[in-house]
Structure 1
Amino acid sequence: MFSSTIGQDCPSRREIQGTLKQVQKLLAAHESSYGQSLKNLKKKINLLQNSAPKLPRDTNITCPKLDAPLYGRKLGKSQSVGHEVHFLCDPGYELVGSESRLCQESLVWGGQQPTCRNINECASSPCLNGGTCTDEVNQFSCVCAKGWAGVTCQSPVPTFFLSITNTSAGAAAATVLPAATSGPFVRPPRCTMTQGTTHCTCEPGYTISGRDPYTCTDIDECELFHNGQSGRLCLHTCVNTPGGYRCNCPAGYEVTRDGRGCKDIDECATRQNNCTRDQTCINTNGGYQCVRVECPKIPNASYVKTSPMRCERNPCPLDNKACSQTPNSFSYHYLSVVSNLSAPRVMFRVSALRPIGDTLRFSLVGGRHIRRYFTVQRSDRLTGQLMLVSPVQGPATLEAEVEMTELERKEQLGRYITKVTMFVSQYDF
């Protein structure tokens, strides 16, 4: 019996080295071919870039700049599409043209460029009895004709004469006009003489002077009724005028219809403010405030603005207990009140719409200064109220923080901060 083993000899070391050299040559050839292809591709890209039309660097995507009218102001700075600018004139001037202009998609402003035209106070012919009116900025003056005087040439300048009239009883009655007097606060009286007795009267708002029975002097109503039983004539300032008076109000207010009171001008509603688009206009008594809410920066937590007046905390990692103990949200509110507002009174209420835990706790955040004016009380199970406990003399700005905490078996579930800013006017109206 024969047996044999059939096998295959391994290649020699020289054969392996030869094979490796052939593989290296093949790879080098492929690499060279790929590099040449890459160079050709880069050349084609450069040719396409050089042949493409170039856009100008300063492509205009806004409307051209608008200037404020002479004797006026422009409100708004943005020149972008969809934005508006508004125009106001100085006192004594009226707006002619568009009150507001919109930047359109065609990059052209809508409306007409306004101008501020001087209001002609002489248009209503205020000068009487042939007087000549001269228009001035926000006022006028009269040059009176001979024989007339006063601010509007309303007062005659008589000379002394005596007019005798026979009466049915045969007694002589005379009308006496005294010598001329000058000045708007001095007027001649109307006098009658009957049987040797002279009776003189003055027009309303004037009275016979104690020294001169033929002179009527103006009654100073402001001084006479300064502390009258029926109250002051004017809520703010009384100005005596010839034969009467007028009431003035401080800046930011206008006189009411009865001519005696003052009411606040809402600069936010009438666009008489300079707040930017990223600010909120808050009307106050006698003025306005431009506010912009910025979310707080607190360690271990971050906040995002969810509305113009509210910031909420971003979700906390599950293992970050320090983050979960920070406030869940901050909300901001603004109040406008008069000076020396009576106290105690409720200023603001904080409520929980859908309580999660079993307990709600309300507290006032701050030191002694804020606790001098405020306290927090519970009005019901779900509501806490910020109370003003002491009158505040204006002008002043006070800030109070009310904290609402949700608890479940005395364990904190959430904290919510309400920041209330109170703008106190300089005046008690």
Structure 2
Amino acid sequence: MNAAIVITLLCSCLLHPTFGQDCPSRQEIHGSLKQVQKLLSAHEASYLQSLRNLKKKINLLQSSAGKQATRAINGTCPKLEAPINGRKLGKSHSVGHEVHVLCDPGYELVGTESRVCQESLSWSGQQPTCRDINECTSSPCLNGGTCVDEVNQFSCVCAKGWAGATCQSPVPTFFVTMTNTSAAISPATAAAAASTLPAATTGPFVRPSRCTIIQGTTHCTCEPGYTISGRDSNTCTDIDECELFHNGQAGKLCLHACVNTPGGYRCTCPAGYNVTRDGRSCKDIDECATRQNNCTKDQMCINTYGGFQCVRVDCPKIPNATYVKTSPMRCERNPCPLDNKACSQTPNSFSYHYLAVVSNLSAPRVMFRVSALRPIGETLRFSLLGGRQTRRHFTVQRSDRVTGQLMLVSPVQGPAMLEADVEMSELERRVQLGRYITKVTMYVSQYEF
């Protein structure tokens, strides 16, 4: 019988003794009260024991959570080394921080660009490597030329009779002019005639010819780079190779500018470029690698074709949110208060990237790829931010489930600077979980080399 029912019945009999034989005697009531008291004591003891067990479990959970939090706060991942022919961006090895890897010019990244320090105190992904880009893969050397792969460039060893950056130009051929002066004469007379030929006018662009008389015929030749001009077989005039091969079918002698010299020519390049080993092409000077720049310590040097840019990455200032720089090229949002919805709608991070391209680069062409390292939601959405000017030259396409790519859709005439912002949104059942902005700045050179 329930203790509450027993107590109610006993109270009724004590208050209304008129019930007669239906009520138990006082002795029976006293025994029942003792049983109820024992029952309540047993329930109380069981309840107190349950409370003690619950408190122990709560204390154990709190202790375990405290140890994990202390480990997460104080623990760091092992130090990461930069790959050979590459460099590492980011110095923090704490949990949740990222380290980015960039390869030197002439090398391409194999593996993950960014690695994150996980709560297990290990880095996500695998150690990336920087692999040499083989510029000879596309067989750029023409007319039987041999390609030599170099760092961030290539050179061509041309076959006989060809020259140029890609062996596209035939080597100029100079012809010997022969002039008939008389009929057959004796050898003695020929020798005398050869020694009495009039002296030619001399100068840097004029040379005397070399003439011999054989069986009554005068043969006159010129030094390489000169030709007999007009009827005067004694005078050799410099050949202007720059004018002769300016717009020939075989291509120009020089990639940029040609300067005629006595008996030859030389190629020159604009400021920021050096002449290559073949003497006809131009290669960019890396002012950042050779320290030929004036960037300050708080700036990063970005090499461009024909020059360089000093950039400083500052975290954006957005209402309702604050950002902190976690690497030289990345800013992340500080945690938002639970009741601040406006803060949770702001971008989680901003990444900054800089590209150098030549003028009139062919399009369409993939310029940059954005990928999710560890997707949380069920859907990733990629979009291009910006106005008409940005959308005139760029678009964003998805290459796979977790990767979007920034596409150049029309050539750009340099010099110019273009900016494009790629947004990656993470969704779960159409609810936004996070936004990530990648800001790409493209420096377009003045020249097409």
Range class of TM-score, shorter chain: 0.5 to 0.7
Aligned match of 2:349: 329
Q: Is the 8 A contact 2:395 2:408 kept in 1?
A: yes
Q: Is the 8 A contact 1:171 1:195 kept in 2?
A: no
Aligned match of 2:394: 374
Q: Equivalent of 1:293, from 275, 298, 313?
A: 313
Q: Deviations over 1:313-350 (max 9, x none)?
A: 01111000000000000000000000000000100000
Partners of 1:201 and 1:296 lie apart in 2 by 73
Aligned match of 2:441: 421
Which one-letter code corresponds to 2:230 in the other structure?
G
Does 2:380 correspond to 1:364? Answer: no
Aligned match of 1:388: 408
Partners of 1:352 and 1:195 lie apart in 2 by 86
Partners of 1:175 and 1:340 lie apart in 2 by 59
Partners of 1:374 and 1:400 lie apart in 2 by 8
Which one-letter code corresponds to 2:235 in the other structure?
T
Aligned match of 1:175: 194
Query: Deviation at 1:195?
Result: 4.3
The structure carrying a bigger helix percent of its residues is 2
Partners of 1:337 and 1:166 lie apart in 2 by 71
Partners of 1:178 and 1:326 lie apart in 2 by 90
Q: CA RMSD in A?
A: 1.5
Partners of 2:238 and 2:320 lie apart in 1 by 74
Does the C-alpha gap of structure 1 residues 354 and 397 become closer, same or farther in structure 2, counting only changes over 3 Å? same
Q: Is the 8 A contact 1:180 1:188 kept in 2?
A: yes
Aligned match of 1:262: 282
Residues 10-409 of structure 1: pairs in structure 2 closer than 5 A? 167=187, 172-173=190-191, 174-176=193-195, 177-409=197-429
Aligned match of 2:139: none
Q: Deviations over 1:72-102 (max 9, x none)?
A: xxxxxxxxxxxxxxxxxxxxxxxxxxxxxxx
Q: Is the 8 A contact 1:178 1:188 kept in 2?
A: no
Aligned match of 1:31: none
Partners of 2:380 and 2:215 lie apart in 1 by 92
Query: Deviation at 1:199?
Result: 2.1
Partners of 2:190 and 2:230 lie apart in 1 by 28
Q: Is the 8 A contact 1:399 1:421 kept in 2?
A: yes
Q: Deviations over 1:148-167 (max 9, x none)?
A: xxxxxxxxxxxxxxxxx974
Partners of 1:172 and 1:250 lie apart in 2 by 54
Partners of 1:383 and 1:343 lie apart in 2 by 20
Aligned match of 1:37: none
Q: Percent identity?
A: 85
3-state SS of paired residue (2:350): strand
3-state SS of paired residue (1:390): coil
3-state SS of paired residue (1:372): helix
Number of equivalent positions: 263
Partners of 2:414 and 2:231 lie apart in 1 by 46
3-state SS of paired residue (1:327): coil
3-state SS of paired residue (2:384): strand
Does the C-alpha gap of structure 1 residues 207 and 261 become closer, same or farther in structure 2, counting only changes over 3 Å? same
Partners of 1:288 and 1:237 lie apart in 2 by 22
Q: Deviations over 1:33-66 (max 9, x none)?
A: xxxxxxxxxxxxxxxxxxxxxxxxxxxxxxxxxx
Query: Deviation at 1:200?
Result: 1.3
Partners of 2:362 and 2:250 lie apart in 1 by 22
Partners of 2:333 and 2:198 lie apart in 1 by 85
The two structures have a TM-score, normalised by structure 2, of 0.57
Partners of 2:256 and 2:190 lie apart in 1 by 52
Q: Deviations over 1:266-319 (max 9, x none)?
A: 000101000001100000001000000011111111111111110000111100
3-state SS of paired residue (2:194): strand
3-state SS of paired residue (1:172): helix
Q: Is the 8 A contact 1:397 1:424 kept in 2?
A: yes
Partners of 2:198 and 2:297 lie apart in 1 by 67
Query: Deviation at 1:171?
Result: 6.6
The two structures have a TM-score, normalised by structure 1, of 0.60
Query: Deviation at 1:214?
Result: 1.8
Q: Is the 8 A contact 1:238 1:245 kept in 2?
A: yes
Query: Deviation at 1:211?
Result: 4.6
Partners of 1:289 and 1:275 lie apart in 2 by 8
Does the C-alpha gap of structure 1 residues 178 and 172 become closer, same or farther in structure 2, counting only changes over 3 Å? closer
In structure 1, stretches of 5+ residues that fail to align are 1-164
Partners of 1:299 and 1:290 lie apart in 2 by 28
Q: Is the 8 A contact 2:211 2:220 kept in 1?
A: yes
